[in-house]
A = this chain, B = another copy of it.
Amino acid sequence: MNWTIRTEGFDRDQIPAMENRFFCGNGYLGIRGAPEEFGKEEMPAVNLAGIFDKTGEGWREPLNAPNGLYTFLRVDGEEYGLPEQEPLQHELELDYRHGILYRKTSWKTRRGIVTVRSERFAGRKDVHLIAMRYAVSADFHGEIELCEGIDGDVWDIHGPHYDQICSESISMEKEELQNRPDGWRWEKDCLRLEGITHEKKDAAAVAECICRDFPCDVKVMRKEKQILRCFSFVSEIGREYSLEKGIAVYTSRDVETMPEDPALWGKSSRRAEKISELLRSKEVQTLLQFMKNGYEEEKKLQIQAWEEKWSMSQVEIEGDDSAMEALNYSIYHLMSIAPAPGSNLSIPARGLSGQTYKGAVFWDTEMFMLDFFLFTDPDVARSLVKYRVDTLAGAQKKAADYGYEGAFYAWESQERGFDACTDYNVTDVFTGRPMRTYFKDKQYHISAAAAYGILRYLAVTGDESLLAQGGLETVVECARFYYSLLVKRAVSEAYEIHDVIGPDEYHERVNNNAYTNRMAKFVLEAAAGLLDEFVRKGEIHLKMKEAPAKESSAKEPPAQEQTAEPPVQEPEWRNDPKQAERQAEQFREAAEKLYIPEPDAAGIIPQFDGYEKLEDASLEQVRSRLLNPREYWGGAYGVASETKVIKQADVVTMLNLFSGEYSDEIKKKNWEYYEPRTEHGSSLSSCMYAMLACKCGMAEKACPFFEKSARADLDGGGKEWAGLVYIGGTHPAAAGGAYMTAVEGFGGVSIQNGKLQVNSCLPEKWKRLKFCVCCRGIGYRVEIKRENDEIKTEIQKI
């Protein structure tokens, strides 16, 4: 198979799409696939994981680091670069096997043709490193100026986030680095630029070192938000003039000197100086290592590191190259944004492709991405689910703020579980007014996703240590949250959950959403089971004491909105087995009595109370009622709101998760019923239809939905703009959904009582499907072959 994607030519309208498609990342940072000369208008970004800022009334969003890749070219004093100068030729090529982006662009100058070639990657070994090669050649003699440096004037959606920017040169006089055996020369000074944010005075600092294979004049320049170094020379015909550049990226999240007393987090210049000093020393470490290795050696290490990853994660599909390539490209994206184990990070809904969706973690991570990591890299999976444990206090505070008990997780989770979701998430296109939405207040299923992640992690890895480190408490707190949501009508014995938004966001404030209720039941049952087991083992007291509840807070100062520490109450059951038993009993009783919508006479499970009474308009009818192409379909008066048309898989998602509880007939009927009524207005939708189709033996029907998921970022075409706000980016949940469909849907992998089961359902075209999965600490190589119309499955321990 071909592990590269390529594009030729340059289309101004495709700039954001290309930047997403040719993305590189390493979990610490993500680099949009932008040409080096792009300024903020063209939306380049080195997006940083887990560090946020809010300016004025704008949304709180993650930082884009000062852009250390910034490089541009002058010929005879005239600048040549995209998008201003129409190129003669422009090519991008991403080696997504190894996360390396290659670029080649030529322009016609008055004297002749000048060509730029570059390559770059986000370091896998040292995630603070970005390595880059940049070369220019000309078919004429001319005055060439190669300018490079750090651009602090970064692209922001709701910025600018740096209200202070400082730049400097750092002398790096180290004898052994002065003379490279290949004759390249290191510049003696590194350039450095640091941005300080408004909100918490966080610092994002970038330093760079550079090496060249040609003699030239060198000039360092500082502009207001940039520090630049220009290399001037007269070109020889045909000779390539090359730079190698190491870029070190650190933020104040990476240094642990924050004083305990928040009063000292203010504008103290001493604190800022201290942080700068620490950051500088770390940057120098990273750069020295790069200087020691040089670009080519770093690239070898990069390739090695990726090859290691692929050994577990690659999926082979014989008979369908296009599917195989799309799927592995999806997997590349997942691996590019996976946080380092132990980093206290999870994955935002748009990965690290920019500031879209506020860099926040949604239910996408647990419900769509987690399985990939569980099966291929359980340490990353642990980090993802640990994120919810670490943000429990934030979830408890949110629950208390809304008058509930337990843990109500952030719909859009930033650091410490701060909910970045606003009460007004959509703008009314007719009035320009913000519309009150209820994503934050009523999408209760988010807490189930948090608990589900932990329980899924336990089921696949068998690693119970997480329970002792706060996992048990997290699940119990989620169960307490659901318990506190339950209502019972005076005239009924059943528990119900009212006034909720399910996965289908077009229908707000409904009662008894099937998905939400079933997930609540799952959490209540699981919490009861865990409590029972720990009471049995007599371990409660001990285990709970281990919970390192403060681990993360040391590193992360609270957001402005969150200065007061939420009052985490010691749960009653913690030190008292009797209380724990009672708590378990309460959960079990609630789970038993919780009403779960059942299939009606036609076998259809109503998505919520009264769904069946809504207008049964077709998708086309509903679309035809739009008065403005950008108007919101949901909300109180949206075109879909009073119809059966839904945004995304909802009942179908529930059937996927609890497929063992429903007959194939019911699953099929609901699939057939809901699919034509689904807009698939979310990239989370298609994979759920693909998965469920596999689970009831409809592999061929699954194929187009699988492809849509797998190609989400390859083909693009999703919504990029909401009014004037950019909402594009990559779609890791679709990528994760594609992986799940391949391995768990077509591949039929499941974990039953800790044992790997394979019950495949291949489409006709697929002759062989091969992949590895981890289960309970053991790796397995799974091969499913079609031989003479018979399916054979081989499972080997690695």
Contacts and interface: CB of A to CB of B under 8 A. Distances in A.
Interface string A453-490: 00000000000000000000000000000011111111
Nearest to A628: B431
Interface stretch (A81-89, A286-294, A350-358, A491-499): A491-499
A636 to B, nearest CB: 3
A590 B490 CA distance: 8
Nearest to A486: B490
A489 B484 contact: yes
A498 B499 contact: yes
A326 B495 CA distance: 55
B637 A435 contact: yes
A433 B490 contact: no
Contacts of A678: none
A583 interface: no
Contacts of A433: 637
Nearest to A489: B487
A499 B485 CA distance: 15
Contact of A491 (B431, B484, B509, B642): B484
Contact of A490 (B495, B509, B642): B495
Contacts of A435: 636-637
B487 A627 contact: no
Nearest to A496: B487
Contacts of A491: 405, 483-484, 486
Interface in A420-466: 428, 430-431, 433, 435-436
A641 interface: yes
A62 interface: no
A145 to B, nearest CB: 54
Contacts of A627: 431
A637 B428 contact: yes
A123 interface: no
Contacts of A498: 487, 498-499
A728 interface: no
A436 B490 contact: no
A642 to B, nearest CB: 6
Given A636-B636, A637-B435, A484 B490 contact: yes
A44 interface: no
Contacts of A637: 428, 431, 433, 435-436, 635-637
Contacts of A489: 484, 486-487
Interface in A613-671: 627, 635-637, 641-642
A721 B5 CA distance: 63
Nearest to A433: B637
A637 B432 CA distance: 12
Query: Which of A405, A430, A483, A627 is packed against the most chain B CB atoms within 10 Å?
Result: A430
Contacts of A496: 487
Contacts of A641: 436
Nearest to A430: B430
A631 to B, nearest CB: 9
A247 B590 CA distance: 70
Given A435-B637, A436-B641, A436-B642, A490 B487 contact: yes
Nearest to A498: B498
A272 B244 CA distance: 99
A617 to B, nearest CB: 14
A429 to B, nearest CB: 9
Contacts of A485: 490
Contact of A499 (B405, B428, B483, B499): B499
A434 to B, nearest CB: 9
Contacts of A428: 637
A118 to B, nearest CB: 49
A640 to B, nearest CB: 12
Contact of A487 (B488, B509, B636, B642): B488
A642 B430 CA distance: 19
Contacts of A487: 487-490, 496, 498
A641 B509 CA distance: 16
Contacts of A642: 436
Contacts of A509: 499, 509
A405 B489 CA distance: 12
Given A435-B637, A509-B509, A483 B488 contact: no
Contacts of A436: 636-637, 641-642
Residue in A428, A431, A483, A495 with the greatest tally of chain B CB atoms within 10 Å: A431
A584 B314 CA distance: 70
Chain B CB count within 10 A is highest, among A405, A435, A490, for A490
Nearest to A488: B488
A533 B145 CA distance: 102
A489 B487 CA distance: 4
Contacts of A486: 489-491
Nearest to A435: B637
Contacts of A430: 430-431
Contacts of A431: 430, 627, 637
A637 B435 CA distance: 6
A693 to B, nearest CB: 34
Nearest to A593: B490
A579 B637 CA distance: 46
A641 B434 CA distance: 13
Nearest to A424: B642
A796 to B, nearest CB: 49
A725 to B, nearest CB: 19
Nearest to A405: B491
A495 B590 CA distance: 18
A293 B644 CA distance: 66
B490 A490 contact: no
Interface in A498-541: 498-499, 509
Q: Which of A433, A590, A636, A642 has the most CB atoms of chain B within a 10 A radius of its CB?
A: A636
Given A435-B637, A486-B490, 20 more contacts: A405-B491, A428-B637, A430-B431, A431-B627, A436-B641, A436-B642, A483-B491, A484-B491, A487-B487, A487-B488, A487-B489, A487-B498, A488-B490, A490-B590, A498-B498, A499-B499, A499-B509, A509-B509, A635-B637, A637-B637
* Closest 3 pairs (CB-CB, A-B): A636-B636, A486-B490, A430-B430
30 contacts: A405-B491, A428-B637, A430-B430, A431-B637, A435-B637, A436-B636, A436-B637, A436-B641, A436-B642, A483-B490, A483-B491, A484-B490, A485-B490, A486-B490, A486-B491, A487-B488, A487-B489, A487-B490, A487-B496, A487-B498, A488-B490, A490-B495, A490-B590, A498-B498, A498-B499, A499-B499, A509-B509, A635-B636, A635-B637, A636-B636
